[in-house]
Chains A and B, each alone.
Chain A
Amino acid sequence: MNLQVELEHHRRVLIVRLRGELDHHTAEAVRTKMDEAIQRGRAEHLVLSLEDLTFMDSSGLGVILGRYKVIKSLGGKMVVCHVNPSVHRLFELSGLFKILAIYENERTALSELEVVS
């Protein structure tokens, strides 16, 4: 499959790095892996890191919004980092950037979440 999900726990924060192409075909695996990691790891917050994401369409918006809802229902916070201009445009069109905080990199995202928790 043309998409890899890398997971890393950093205290109560789950870092999810997506590498490759996020579309309808790869969306389901991303959803399953992220939901499993959220449940298993007792993660409170989530950083979605998109530095190596080479393609995304509206199916990706659906998965991201879905995970945002999961984390929120568990009382946590989800943020995104390394958002390239084309992904940013999709966030703007859909209004997702209004509910998801965007950070430059993992370090700034983490330090923000550590203040929250």
Chain B
Amino acid sequence: MSEKLEQISDHDGNFMTLQFASRSENEAFARVAVAAFVTQLDPTMDELTDLKTVVSEAVTNCIIHGYDNDPNGVVTITARIEEEIVTITIEDKGNGIEDLELAKQPLYTSKPELERSGMGFTIMENFMDEFEVVSNLGSGTHIRMKKRIESKKALYN
């Protein structure tokens, strides 16, 4: 392990980084990988389903909106665990979002011809405790979200 990695993981926390091609077959891989990483917090099935769903939403958005389905794009996910809190970031270096307030509206989609439901951001906001988007036109979109995993506490307190 490099010195830098050792330093980062020196605290109580744990982390992982994942990078993959912007291909739709990686959506399932991404959500399963994050769920497997979070398993160490002993989440309930419902908590795992929530996490898988938000990862699926954000990764799908990178692929279809960030990169317009171009498989040459790269999606980066990080997950960090500090005590019972999991922080997930999901990022693309694609198109970016012009009007973030509009994009976050429930049922709003810029691609109705693809039968999108426009519910991705609403789901991320509802399923996570914290959710933020930073996006710049032409340089990409970065999502950061947090969730407290309650199950462990409930079990041991």
Contact = CB atoms under 8 A, between A and B. Distances in A.
Interface of A: 2, 21, 23-25, 27, 31, 55, 57-59, 61-63, 65-66, 85-86, 90, 93-95
B115 A65 contact: yes
A25 B59 CA distance: 11
B57 interface: yes
Interface in B98-157: 106-107, 114-120, 122-123, 126
B42 interface: no
A62 B123 contact: no
With most chain B CB atoms within 10 A of its CB, the pick from A23, A27, A63, A95 is: A23
Interface string B39-55: 00000001001001100
B46 A86 contact: yes
Contact of A62 (B24, B53, B63, B115): B115
Nearest to B55: A57
Given A23-B60, A90-B123, A93-B123, A59 B117 contact: yes
B28 A2 contact: yes
B32 to A, nearest CB: 10
Contacts of A57: 53, 56-57, 60, 120, 123
Interface in B47-85: 49, 52-53, 56-57, 60, 63-64
B24 A94 contact: no
Interface residues of B, number: 26
Contacts of A61: 117, 119
Given A23-B56, A24-B60, A94-B117, A58 B28 contact: no
Contacts of B120: 57-58
Contacts, number: 70
Nearest to B64: A24
B25 interface: yes
Contacts of B28: 2, 21, 23, 25
A36 to B, nearest CB: 16
A62 B116 contact: yes
With most chain A CB atoms within 10 A of its CB, the pick from B27, B63, B64 is: B27
Nearest to B60: A24
A63 B115 contact: yes
Nearest to A95: B107
Nearest to A94: B119
Contacts of B57: 57-58
B64 A93 contact: no
Contact of B27 (A25, A85, A95): A25
